A and B are shown apart, each in its own frame.
Chain A
Amino acid sequence: MASFYGTTLPNPLMLGTAQYPSPAILERAFRESGAGVATVSLRREGAGRAGQAFWQMVQDLGVLTLPNTAGCHTVKEAVTTAHMAREVFDTTWIKLELIGHTDSLQPDVFGLVEAARILSEDGFQVFPYTTEDLIIGERLLDAGCEVLMPWGAPIGSGRGLNNEYALRVMRAEFPDVPLVVDAGIGLPSHAAHAMELGFDAVLLNTAVARAGDPVAMARAMMGAIEAGKLAHDADPIEARDMAEASTPVIGKAFLT
């Protein structure tokens, strides 16, 4: 299991805490799926100290907390939010999200690199939400990141892995960097797909929180992630064009 800034995750499911019908359902989704990391937004859930009751509930889940800068559009906003997160949650982990486009919520990768450098120099351990672009990945590593979190598809779109080729290349290019598919997961098969490609974890929120039964969907995601990881580690066969019989046929009676 990959190490995220020195921490080994209990399992590869990072689950967001936004948009659930109630905190009680959020709590059950975590408990029954066993997700090991909770991401939490500081910006949306109240400025200043106002989100305290909800944040306390997230911390009471007893899983690792990964605060995020969701909703930030500028480097300055993201840096300020990260500082607040460090104080509130007493962690140097920060999921850095810097939105560049309102409709697609595509990350502003230029601002992202800049903010990642500022925060890394300031002692943060940055989990950058990025695209599948290799060069941006390089720049983020240069800026001090030790984890990369490319999108599968736009946030909340539920489209799965839009660019499997690029994600494969990214995995091959950064074999020793913990990689997380973040955003775009809609179905357990998408999450399994990411794990089969050799990603170290999957981060998702909407697919669970907005499902008709979030608790059941959280369990389904965990099952799929475990399946995908097991399959990857089991060295799956490669696809081929022609049939290959699983038992030798030469000499069998029916051939004569």
Chain B
Amino acid sequence: MTIWSVIGAGVAGLAVATELVERGARVQIFDPSGPPGPHGCSWWAGGMLAPWCEYENAEEPVLRLGQQAIDWWASKTTIQRRGTLVVAARRDMPDLRRFARQTEGFREAGPEIADLEPDLISFNKGLFFDAEAHLDPRKALHDLHRNLLAKGVVFHQKPAPTRPENAIDCRGLHARDTLHDLRGVKGEMLVIRCPDVTLTRPVRLLHPRMPLYIVPRGDGIYMLGATMIEAEDSGRITARSMLELLSAAYALNPAFGEAEVLEIGVDLRPAFPDNLPRIRRLGHTIYANGLYRHGYLLAPALAKGVADLALHNTHSEMVDEDRA
């Protein structure tokens, strides 16, 4: 029986391995950095399963394929189905109207905001996307990892052998050595603790330059994200980005001014020119990459596409090249 070698244990690799195993295939995983951790960009994700909101600035497949993600993840890890609330400062109302025009799947929220999130003071207009969900990305990665181990998948903490047969390359930006149209888009995020504020669902604050959001992780911990910069240094956060992220939190509720900053995350999202993921088969290797800012949202669809190609030789819409 064929053994599939999945290279890379980020959200893409783990989702692909999970999908293959669920369809009865045998899988081993290679990642020289070991189990999921801070070395991979999916560690730093927001974990929003928000296809309707993301459609504001993404192409149609994100809306359609992203909707499958919610149930996929619900069967693998804990998810919160509490929707997303989108708000804007009074001066940015044109941005809220634009967001409403360019998305679907929401209802306008006025006084309801106070019922949904009592700590979201001073916002009396917003949009509520009630079908959206969120998850804790690190728990999700751990759960996938643990389930795979339980099903007998072997993890090798070393690079994959050169030219392996039946390989699935999910190395993210490291796959640039072969995928030359892949680029890195810098993202910066913060994890803060602020037990004084209670938010129970992701909240997006519209901003002329970037979609800033805050995702509750429970126990007063929040993820604040994320910048989108066409740059490829993953070194450090800039002062400006930190200011913008913290100002967004402060604008949502001034009590965030007392928050402790627990973590600063900086990494590069692997992206193709249209910011949509791709599956490519080149020789014995299937490349699955380009999840961009939609790691958790599109990994299930990517994994299904890879399994369809690997096991049944059927081409999903994500396959853009097949030179087997």
Q: Which residues of A contact B (CB under 8 A)?
A: 19, 21-25, 27, 44-48, 50-54, 57, 156, 210, 212
Contact = CB atoms under 8 A, between A and B. Distances in A.
A45 B230 contact: yes
B274 A46 contact: no
Contacts of A48: 233
A21 B57 contact: yes
A52 B229 CA distance: 12
Given A47-B238, A54-B183, A22 B232 contact: no
Contacts of B238: 47
Contacts, number: 57
B273 A52 contact: no
Contacts of A24: 272-275
Given A21-B57, A54-B183, A47 B275 contact: no
B209 A19 contact: yes
Given A21-B57, A53-B183, A53-B184, A212 B102 contact: yes
B186 interface: yes
A106 B238 CA distance: 24
Interface string B247-286: 0000000000000000000000001111110000000000
B136 to A, nearest CB: 28
Nearest to B185: A54
Contacts of B102: 212
B98 interface: yes
Contacts of B209: 19
Given A47-B238, A212-B102, A21 B230 contact: no
23 contacts: A21-B57, A21-B58, A21-B59, A21-B275, A22-B59, A22-B271, A23-B273, A24-B274, A25-B274, A27-B273, A44-B229, A45-B230, A45-B231, A46-B233, A51-B230, A51-B231, A52-B232, A53-B183, A53-B230, A54-B231, A57-B183, A57-B273, A212-B101
Interface centre among A19, A53, A210 (most CB of B within 10 A): A53
B275 A46 contact: no
B208 interface: yes
A12 B183 CA distance: 31
Contacts of B233: 46-48, 50
A46 B273 CA distance: 18
A19 B229 CA distance: 10
A212 B57 CA distance: 9
A22 B61 CA distance: 14
Contact of A54 (B101, B230, B276): B230
B226 to A, nearest CB: 15
B230 A22 contact: no
A57 B230 CA distance: 11
Contacts of B183: 23, 53-54, 57
Contact of A53 (B101, B232, B274): B232
A50 B272 CA distance: 17
Nearest to A213: B102
B61 to A, nearest CB: 12
User: Which 10 pairs show the lowest CB-CB distances between chains A and B?
Assistant: A46-B231, A24-B274, A54-B230, A50-B231, A50-B233, A22-B275, A53-B183, A45-B230, A24-B273, A23-B273
A47 B231 contact: yes
A156 B186 contact: no
A55 to B, nearest CB: 8
